[in-house]
Chains A and B, each alone.
Chain A
Amino acid sequence: MKKLKNSFLSHYVLLWVLIVLVIGGAIWNPTVLNPSNLSSMITGRVTVGIMAVAMTICMAAGEMDISLGYMLGTSIMVSAFAGMRGASPAVVLLVALLTGTLFGALNGFLVVVIKIPSTIVTLGSGMIMYSISMGMNNSKSITAVLPGTVTAIFKTRILGFLPCVWAMLLLFILAYWMLEHTPFGKQIYAVGFSPRVAHLAGIPTNLVKFLSFTLCGAIVGVAAAFNIGQTGNAYVSTGPSYLMPCLAVVFLSITTHKIGRYNIVGTFIALFTLAVAYNIAGMAGAPFWFENIANGIILLGVVLANGEDSRSAHKG
């Protein structure tokens, strides 16, 4: 593809891909635009979307949290365990949120204070989390920990969408506001791009990194709470499979809106591009394993179509 410079077109290649997919899909099969199809498509991506928000914050701070998938699974299992032991529904949801926050803070602590690279820290902590979630109930799933009245609340559609969809949208807006329009967000980017310059500019780099990890964990906790709230069940296998799609979405974000930066608008567009692509593939009768092929092709294709300076996040 011809390299396009400094035009709206080049800043939003991904958005054009999304538009082409939607229009092309709608021509091929009008049910793509069917409200019930759209609703189920978005609902299916909520967990990945929420986790991508978390990951974007973490990556903007120059770190990577590969324990996010395990963190989700563990938060769900721990909260279900509390429910199994008789905790009230409110406590169960709170436990999901707190478990994520706690693990996020733990990751941040290890990265900042003990100065271990974040990929190693989160790989290690992720494995530990996975073990914990297995050990919660002897590697058996925990089901029906919430009464039907509670899960019903989580299944009440508001303006046609489930509460988890609205939660995801709210998180996207909050994260956008925080990263782009608050001093803390500016500090996150400064620390992510050049910890050295940020440190010399008097920014408390360690605190910024620690808070980014903690926030990341808290957002995963929200995803966990909605997960258990909606189903009342906790499956041991939930979690790890969300990591790769989530990473794909975040990496795609650097090709859009703010080229060369992990950014929330980019994450949002990327999430929907991948969702629509998978949805159309599904309608065309592609098998389930096709999702990852589509993810991979879009990731590589869009990155290649962009100029060289947007193929990876900038450094320094």
Chain B
Amino acid sequence: MAITAKNISVTFPGVKALDSANFGFCEGRIHAVLGANGSGKSTLVKVLTGIYHADRDCGAEITIDGQTVRDIVSPKQAHDLGIRVVHQESPLIFSFSVAECIALFKGYPTNGIKVKWDAVRQYAQKLLTLYHINVSPETLTDNLSAADRNMIAMAMAMGDEEESRQTRILILDEADASIPEAETEEFLAHVRHVADMGIPVLMVTHRMKEVIGYCDDVTILNGGRVVYSGLKSNINEDFIVSRMIRQTDETLSAKAEQASCRITDLWRVLGRQQNGANERPVLSVEELTAKNLNGITFSVRSGEILGVIGNPDSGVRELPMVLGGDMPIQSGRYVVDGREMERRLTPRKCYQAGVNVLPCDRPVRGGIMSCTLCENVLMPNQKQFWNKPGLVKKTMNMSMEIFDIQPRNSSATLFGKFSGGNQQKAIMAKWLCTCPKVFVLDDPTYGVDPASRIRIFTAMREAAAANVAMIVFSTEPEQLAGLCSRVLALHSGRIVAELKESDGTLDRNSIAKWCYT
């Protein structure tokens, strides 16, 4: 084997991202690393590229061409060892030509006074020819297709013939994520071409279907452990899905110790009240179209927990933004509590109508890291707390109690100083304080430690019991089986299946299948 990694453990506070994992990658083969979010895929890539480091006492060993190291200390060392990586974000700079972008990364040849533009172009042409990329070096990067862009990124990582001989492994870290499905084949053909040069290729991807067609070996990660490693030909899709499912069922064991007060108590303090249970749907959409959504129709009743699943290209990323007024609706009806929402929605209008969204991407859209916890929690509704320090204190104390935000008495601490789990619980508090009619949660457990996860599920059940309609989008879909009574599966921007608890179709395997394939 060209590269082996043994006994790799990586521990973060509260989470074991990799647990004594072993890997081996062979020359000339495409090796797909599969796993649900949080299974340790990206941690592995970061260990191999010197960004994260294996735990000191786990006896980690990384062997590259017979040379063994205990740890790759820096990205520079990773590069010196012949590890090349293409990241999800393309390294190309807009409004530069392809040749210039390549020169930026490879160095500008100069004659001491000015850049030798001829040499820049020649080198770029050489790379483009070598990797069979049918693009002129003069092309502006703005005009490239996503597949071309990624192939150029790959070519830049590998370099010309001379440099590519030093390449010991090429890592594609979700490098195909931005490529539309139609162009994936073309891109994967190029990946095969690189492998044929005798280089091991490690692909981390969520595009299971396409990748399985092209790869030779598969490693499946689950909760930081390698649960399968071997030939692709021995296994099929069902097997892979069954291995990717998380084994621990936190939703069922979610008997978190009861908090001394409940969300309904907090609403009473704030003078808010939820409508009584009602058979009429509180939110419904009809033939809704928007970016990546081609006609969605569904409704949700108060007190119901509805799950929505699908692979990342299916529209599950866009739907929560559309519901929250953060992405324009192209056509269709959107009705909240019997009132039709206008076409030009804003998050403010949705908030006023009673629809709150807990967004994914916590640091950018969820909370403000340099404001205090208190400022974050009270943000949507500051007017009510104006000049009422007593009410602020009471609300904060109750929120911290209900959502178990640790440490207590930290409402003046900057938000960025809290752990991911506590941040997420605080953002839940921020929205649930306002007593929404509908609460949309986009991936609420992403990057959250197990204890906080349990608390988040408990809080969701409590809110549903208090007649809030909940819509949950999750990248850890097995969780939904224990939580939801109904789950919608999206594919290509449409709802293609409805899994119901009542007719027995709602189980972990069928949910996982819709998400991963």
Question: Which residues on A are within 8 Å of B, measured CB to CB?
Answer: 181-183, 186-187, 189-190, 193-194, 196-204, 260-261, 314-316
Contact = CB atoms under 8 A, between A and B. Distances in A.
A207 B350 CA distance: 18
B364 interface: yes
Interface of B: 324, 326, 346-348, 350-352, 357, 359, 363-371, 375, 378-380, 382-383, 385-387, 430
Given A183-B383, A190-B379, A200-B359, A261 B324 contact: no
Nearest to B364: A196
Contacts of B359: 200
A194 B368 contact: yes
Given A190-B375, A193-B371, A200-B347, 7 more contacts: A181-B387, A194-B364, A196-B365, A197-B379, A199-B347, A204-B348, A316-B368
A182 B385 CA distance: 9
A119 to B, nearest CB: 21
A201 B380 contact: yes
Given A183-B386, A196-B365, A316-B364, A201 B370 contact: no
A203 B364 contact: no
Contacts of A193: 368-371
Contacts of B357: 200
26 contacts: A183-B385, A186-B375, A186-B379, A186-B382, A187-B382, A189-B371, A189-B375, A190-B375, A193-B369, A197-B365, A197-B367, A197-B368, A198-B368, A199-B326, A199-B347, A200-B326, A200-B347, A200-B359, A201-B351, A203-B348, A314-B370, A316-B363, A316-B364, A316-B368, A316-B369, A316-B370
A217 B383 CA distance: 25
A190 B367 CA distance: 10
A194 B352 CA distance: 21
A202 B368 contact: no
A47 B364 CA distance: 38
B395 to A, nearest CB: 14
B310 to A, nearest CB: 22
A194 B362 CA distance: 12
Given A202-B347, A202-B351, A260 B370 contact: yes
A51 B350 CA distance: 38
Nearest to B386: A183
A202 B359 CA distance: 13
Chain A CB within 10 Å, residue with most, of B326, B352, B382, B385: B382
A200 B368 contact: no
Contacts of A181: 387
A200 B325 CA distance: 9
Contacts of A203: 348, 379-380
Contacts of A196: 364-365
A200 B383 contact: no
A269 B348 CA distance: 38
Contacts of B387: 181
Chain A CB within 10 Å, residue with most, of B357, B375, B379, B383: B379
Contacts of A261: 370
B151 to A, nearest CB: 32
Contacts of B363: 316
